[in-house]
Amino acid sequence: MSRDERVDHATSRSFANALALLTVEPRPCLLDLPPAELPVPSGAGEYRARQLASWLYQRGERDTVAMTDLPTAWRAELAERWRVDPFERAERFPSVDGSVRYLFTLSDSQRTEAVYMPYRGRKTVCVSSMVGCPAGCAFCATGALGFGRNLSRGEIVGQLLAVAWHEGFAPLELRNVVLMGMGEALLNYDAAIGAIRTMVASEALGISPRRVTLSTVGLPSRIRRLASEGLPLVLAVSLHAPDDATRRSIIPTAHAYPVADIVASLRDWQAAGGRRVTIEYTMLDGVNDAHWQARALAALLEGLVVHVNLIPFNPWKGSGFRSSPKERIDAFARVLEGERVRTSVRFSRGRDAGAACGQLALGGSGRADPASARRQRAATAS
C-alpha cells in the first residue's frame, strides 16, 4: 500500500470512527427510573437506593463521581453506564420581574422550556411535558409550533433539578410545580404521572401533591383515569370558552371533546375525591369575553367546586389576537362573582422574556445567559 493510500485509509477510518461516535445512543438517564428502582450493587438493598436518590434529588448532584459516601467502584460504574443530566445545554432568559425562562436542548437536539418563578416565601417552576404541543390552540405560541415529541419522565423531572442547579438553591426548596409549559400532559400520560410520582416521593423531592398542578386542554377519558391514580393534585382545565362553537374556533381538539363531556368528567373527578378544579380562561378581545359568555360559563360550572382564572392574552408575533380590555375583563369577573363563582384575574409573569402563559415558543433573545446563575455568583464572590 502506497503512502497516499495509507493516508486515505487512515482518514476514512478516522471519519468512520467519528461518525460512529456521533450516532452512539446516549447513556440512559437515572432520572427516568422511579426512585425505588435506581440501580444498586448486587445485594446492596434499599439503603443504597435511598442514598443515591438523596444525591440526585435532595442535593441535586449532577456528577456521580462527586457522590462521596457511595463506594468508589459503584460511583465509577454509575459514571460509565448512566448519566444524570438529561440536557445537553441550558440557556437562561431572565425577566425584569425576577422570573427566568429556561430553554433546554435535549440529547437529540430537540428543545423544550421551563419557567422559574420566585415568590416571597416560595419557589415555583412551570415545566413542560412535550416538545411543542399537538393541541394547536390558536392563541398559544406553543400550539403554533406543532408537536415535536413527548418528554421522558427524567426530562420532565430534570427541568426542576436543572433550574435549582442553575439558580443556586437546593431542589428541596422547590415548593410548587405546575405542568403548564409546553405540551398536553395527559397525552404523555405515563411519563407525566411518573414524573409527578418522583416529585412527591419522600425519598426524592418530597413535594406535596397538593402543590402540584397539572394542566390539560380537557380530555375526558384521561381526566377520569387521572382520578383513579390517588394523587390529590390540582387539576387545571384550559376551557377558554363556555360554548362549543367558540371553543372549536380557537381549540382544534374541541371538535372531539364537547364542553359538556369535559364538565361531566370534572364532576366524576370531584366525585372520586378530586380537589377543586381550576378553570383557565384566556381573555380574547371580541372572541370569548361577552357578557352572555360570562353568564354561560357560570351556568356551565354550577355545582362544581372551581376557581376561574381569567388570563389577559399575552401577545406574540403573528397571533392575530388581542387581549380583552381591562374594563371588559373586570365586567366578566363581576358576572362570575355575582353567580358565586370564585374568580381572579391572573397576570402572567415573564412577558418580556417570552415566558408568560401562551408565549413559550423556543425563542432566542439577546437576554440569553447560557452560564448558570450559580457560577456567576461564585465568580462574583471570588
Answer whether 259's CB lies under 8 Å from 239's CB. yes
Picking from 188, 159, 172, 168, the residue whose alpha carbon sits closest to that of residue 86 is 159
Q: Has 29 been annotated as catalytic? A: no
DSSP-assigned states of every residue in 79-117: HHH-BS--EEEEEEEE-TTS-EEEEEEETTS-EEEEEEE
Q: Has 357 been annotated as catalytic? A: yes
Beta strands in the chain (DSSP E): 87-94, 100-106, 111-119, 122-126, 130-132, 147-150, 176-179, 212-216, 234-238, 277-283, 306-312, 342-345
Which helix or strand (DSSP H or E) is residue 328 part of?
helix 326-338
Q: Are strands 87-94 and 100-106 parallel, antiparallel or unpaired?
A: antiparallel
Give how far Cα 258 sits from Cα of 39, 217, 239, 247, 268, Å: 45, 12, 11, 9, 16
DSSP-assigned states of every residue in 344-362: EE-PPS-GGGT-STT--S-
Picking from 165, 182, 183, 185, the residue whose alpha carbon sits closest to that of residue 174 is 165
Catalytic residue among 61, 91, 113, 184: 113
Q: Which amino acid is at 354?
A: G
Per the structure block, which three cell numbers stand in for 114? 421551563
Express the helix, strand and coil content of the chain in percent, nearest 5 each.
40, 20, 40
> Looking at the annotation, which residues are catalytic?
113, 357
